[in-house]
Amino acid sequence: MTKRIMLLVMLLAAASCNKPEPESSSSDSSALLNLETKALGPGDHTYRVAISQPETNYLLAQGSYCSKTIDHTSTLGEDGIWLSPCKVNSAGVPLKADNTEAGSFDEAATSGVYGLRYDKNVYCYLTVASPARSLSSDGQLRYYSWLPNQELYVSGSQLTVWYGTWLGSQYVYKAKDNPSLALKDRRARLKVRIECGQLTEAYIQKVSIINRVKSACYYVPQGFSADPAHYITETVDLYDCGSGAPMHLVREDSDFWLSSTELMIPSLDYSDMDYAGMRPAIQVLMGDDTDHPAQAVVFITENVDPMKNYTYTLYVSKSYAIVTLTTSDWEDGGTHSTTTSEPVTTLGTITVDGWTPTTDTADPWNTL
């Protein structure tokens, strides 16, 4: 009942603001949107915009746009700039009218038929993604296939109202006015560093990330699915001495090992038991006897923010290791931050028997 009352109020508000469309608006009865967000940085981008039914999360409609703008500021002022609806392929690459790839947005087919269109007045969740990759179907639900090596920015979901071609009672819908629509790459980067703790020297035989998610389903508007049928995990070796001698670290020489492979993992709250099956873990085999290694396992149980770097440092001793965590924001689309004042959190102590629980967590979530 509350949602129905909200819908009525929002529809009445939209109906009371009937601002006429300019002649030759190029919208062709699709929603007019201004979706630029700072997370993507400069350059050309395509966007997929979807509206979903709040109670069921069923897809109602979707459309694709590009960052080529239509300018009617001469007649509408600051509300007179919006993005061109744009034809794209399944990868979100702009297409010409003949379905060949466009060399630029000027060559792309830009018509309102490609934009967001719907024939009913409803309240809905609005979600934006870039690039405008195709959504996959699961009945009436829709999802993106998440892969660790594939860039995909997806917003949160904003409850709004669709009235004609209006969203949220706005003639030109501005995503920047709604923080939940900030586009974020739903990946985080994981690195491992090992140093001597109380020991004067340490031998490292193997370092692996076990249970790393290699594919997952990101549902619109819900987010990552925790259903085991919707994700696949794997083990990734970061270092392996193989048949050779273990790596030898000497504390007096300030030796350390830092993984050169920067693994991408889904940005999830791994403290949530719903995602326990998706938690990655750092596994380290230690000691100079390769036939009888000592094993330490660090389970990732923190909030993992989108677009952040996470470096877990293990200070190893004979029977335990102290674990600390440093975090930093991505720069330039995902490189390590140049910030030297990264916060350090001591997470606890691990032994061959496992992980000592602690209430410490990482930094607050990224609010780009």
Neighbouring residues of 356: CB distance < 8 A, sequence distance ≥ 6: 348, 349, 350
In the chain, which residues fall in CATH 2.60.40? Answer: 2-185, 187-355
CA proximity to 327, closest of 360, 283, 286, 280: 360
Q: How many CB atoms lie within 10 A of CB 65?
A: 29
Tell me which H or E stretch contains 11: helix 2-15
Assigned CATH for 187-355: 2.60.40
Amino acid at 267: S
308 and 330 in contact (C-beta within 8 Å)? Answer: yes
How does pLDDT run along the chain (368 residues), one tens digit per residue? 444 444 444 444 443 444 434 333 344 578 888 876 666 766 789 999 999 999 999 999 999 999 888 888 777 777 778 889 999 999 999 999 999 999 988 999 999 999 999 999 999 999 999 999 999 999 999 999 999 999 999 999 999 999 988 888 888 888 877 888 889 999 999 999 999 988 889 999 999 999 999 999 999 999 999 999 999 999 999 999 999 999 999 999 999 999 998 899 999 999 999 999 999 999 999 888 899 888 899 999 999 999 999 999 999 887 788 999 999 998 644 454 444 456 788 888 877 444 343 333 333 323 22
Burial (CB < 10 A; 0-12, 13-18, 19+), residue 303, is middle
Report pTM.
Answer: 0.84
CA proximity to 45, closest of 30, 64, 73: 64
Tell me which H or E stretch contains 2: helix 2-15
Q: For the domain with range 2-185, which CATH number is right: 3.40.50, 3.40.720, 2.60.40, 3.30.460?
A: 2.60.40
